[in-house]
Structure 1
């Protein structure tokens, strides 16, 4: 009944754009005695001259040539700790700009270990390395440097996105799920709508982990916050595929949900649902659906046009007969010993759009009891309450459904749709 459509997350594009770090210390800062600095915080000419030349090359964006000059400065023996700091700092920046991340990473680690770089500047370089490793698809390194960024006090939420995407692309799905779930929960608690991309990633990571329950939960959030046709189709298909779901018994209820959500779009869908409605004794529902199919141009055309007309004529005749006897059928059902006939009359009224009458009778049917599947009746009562705009009653009724073979699942999907259309 429901067409299988594989969910594929449209996500994980390029990482966040990040700026250039070509600007380096001016010569007066890099090579002069620092006022108030520690003793020995000067750079001797043997070291300073090639570093100054490297700095000029960096300004001209000649980063590889700058790296060569920095090597000359590094070759000087007996360098002071401050000279080593200046060499590694400039080598880190020049190597980074030259695209040599391995060298840049090694130099930055030495610079950070020196304790001479201000914390804010250290965070900036940490962020830059994380993003550059991500862009080069070295996700293990991107994860490590992003974690260092947050451990150092960074709070850029774009880096949070980078981290969870790096986990996903590195196939570390448990951490990807943990990270994106925390982000989604934070958005919900703040009264914000989680991004579609985050929810797609959550669904995809659960799918890759073969976690069907987690995947379905992600889909439910997608249809709640970003309702789209493919999400709904996938969710309904997977709901029906759950172990123990009574597909045959709940086929008409599933079609009703499709119709409510707007998923009926083929001639076969309309014909099958209309026939199921007639078989269930709901000619009003069948007629309304057939008329809708004709209006949409899906019925009354093509090689099957005559078959469509026969079904339409049958529904019209049954509606005429049903409306003549419905009141009498209702009286007999209410006077009976069990709730089954009352529920069938309730469904008939719902088929004609009289949800107030349908709700009253469904309540009576449940109260009288002797129903073969009482939770099916509660599911239909949920839909009647929602049609009447009585969401609190619908929620209470849904909570009363205890069976695990489908009514509760379909009722929850109705509630999800109602939550988005409030």
Structure 2
């Protein structure tokens, strides 16, 4: 055994294993001698990359090892199996580590990655969700890599709810354009998502910086004009031209014609503003007041615009009250009052995509507070 120990120190592990086998072949050994042989065999096998032998030796002596040493050895075995790309065994030893009372974040990561690579996507998702929730409870941002791994695990399982749950946290903590594009695209593909929410979806896309196609700028501009918001249409076009998304390429003349139309509509809107407000005040329900107020917010008269919208809300009689709440929240956010916007968004219901869209606006509003 002394020779084996010297060989281990010299990192001649395979030779050490041979010496240990010779010692083990001797009969009449005491329990303590067997214990020492297995401890030394485990060290030599670990160094030689023979993980199975190391694991077998650990099992032979584990009942006599203190908790701290036991955790250290289990950690070593889990890491060895992972490096050997035996992810199922790495997963098993990682789980055992935590059952024995381990708390290492490194082994938690190794366990999750082993589960994912072994095809246990449900297990990986479960561990990741717990880790993310614990981080949020502690007031910390979950790691972007953890959220992306949960996105991928959910995708492997065709778990749409899990995918969206992780993606919503990505846009909350790491609001990159590609995450918003994915999230908004998935929202619009939902079977119950109403076409009438297209303008409100474009508004969020523009606000989050996830809109960069000329056709999207053009369509949003046209929808804003149709809805009676020429000032908003001008803002959309101005941004498109400023970023060179519009005004270039084979459709440049079409872009300029639309800009001329928007300017004309905006001029007409300003001339008719007093009459429009009078008609809105006289209307039976509050729809016209809400629209007139929102138009004023886009025109820059935010205080008066929000006041008119509140008057319209109080008047009531709406065909779609949740749409009105959503628009009020967007106006409040445009006016710079994120807290009120979040409060309003929490009241938005509806099963046609309105509530789903309001939740995404809430995620954006939180970043503005």
The TM-score range, normalised by the shorter chain, is over 0.9
Larger Rg computed on CA atoms: 1
The aligned residue for residue 95 of structure 1 is 45
Please give the residue correspondences for 1:191-270 in structure 2 after superposition, counting only pairs within 5 Å.
Answer: 191-246=139-194, 248-270=195-217
CA contact (8 A) 2:178 2:210 kept: no
Deviation at 1:201, TM superposition (A): 1.9
CA contact (8 A) 1:193 1:225 kept: yes
Deviations 1:33-73 (A, max 9, x none): xxxxxxxxxxxxxxxxxx11111111221111111111110
Q: Does 1:133 align with 2:81?
A: yes
The aligned residue for residue 345 of structure 1 is 292
The aligned residue for residue 123 of structure 1 is 71
Q: In 1, distance between residues paired with 2:337 and 2:255?
A: 36
Deviation at 1:353, TM superposition (A): 3.1
The aligned residue for residue 42 of structure 1 is none
Deviation at 1:237, TM superposition (A): 0.9
Q: Does 1:278 align with 2:228?
A: no
Gaps spanning 5+ residues in structure 1: where? Answer: 1-50
Deviation at 1:369, TM superposition (A): 2.3
CA contact (8 A) 1:356 1:384 kept: no
The aligned residue for residue 47 of structure 1 is none
Which is helix-richer, 1 or 2?
2
Q: In 1, distance between residues paired with 2:181 and 2:348?
A: 24
Q: In 1, distance between residues paired with 2:157 and 2:333?
A: 36
Q: Does 1:359 align with 2:306?
A: yes
Equivalent pairs, count: 369
Q: In 2, distance between residues paired with 1:417 and 1:377?
A: 19
The aligned residue for residue 356 of structure 2 is 409
Gaps spanning 5+ residues in structure 2: where? Answer: none
* Change in CA separation of 1:165 and 1:211 when aligned onto 2, cut-off 3 Å: same
CA contact (8 A) 2:285 2:317 kept: yes
Please give the residue correspondences for 1:57-68 in structure 2 after superposition, counting only pairs within 5 Å.
Answer: 57-68=7-18
Q: Indicate the structure whose relative CO is greater, using CA pairs within 8 Å and at least 6 residues apart.
A: 1
SS of alignment partner, residue 228 of structure 2: coil
Q: In 1, distance between residues paired with 2:118 and 2:31?
A: 38
Deviation at 1:296, TM superposition (A): 1.2
The aligned residue for residue 41 of structure 1 is none
The aligned residue for residue 377 of structure 1 is 324
Deviations 1:284-304 (A, max 9, x none): 111121122111112222221
SS of alignment partner, residue 196 of structure 2: coil
Deviation at 1:153, TM superposition (A): 2.5
Deviations 1:262-305 (A, max 9, x none): 11212112111111111222111111211221111122222212
Q: In 2, distance between residues paired with 1:288 and 1:202?
A: 37
CA contact (8 A) 1:74 1:87 kept: yes
Q: In 2, distance between residues paired with 1:156 and 1:217?
A: 26
Please give the residue correspondences for 1:316-335 in structure 2 after superposition, counting only pairs within 5 Å.
Answer: 316-335=263-282
Q: In 2, distance between residues paired with 1:353 and 1:73?
A: 89
Which has the higher mean CA deviation after the structures are superposed, 201-210 or 253-262? Answer: 201-210
SS of alignment partner, residue 372 of structure 1: coil
Q: Does 1:294 align with 2:244?
A: no
Q: In 2, distance between residues paired with 1:337 and 1:80?
A: 98
Deviation at 1:360, TM superposition (A): 2.1
SS of alignment partner, residue 249 of structure 1: helix
Please give the residue correspondences for 1:39-58 in structure 2 after superposition, counting only pairs within 5 Å.
Answer: 51-58=1-8
Structure 2-normalised TM-score? 0.95
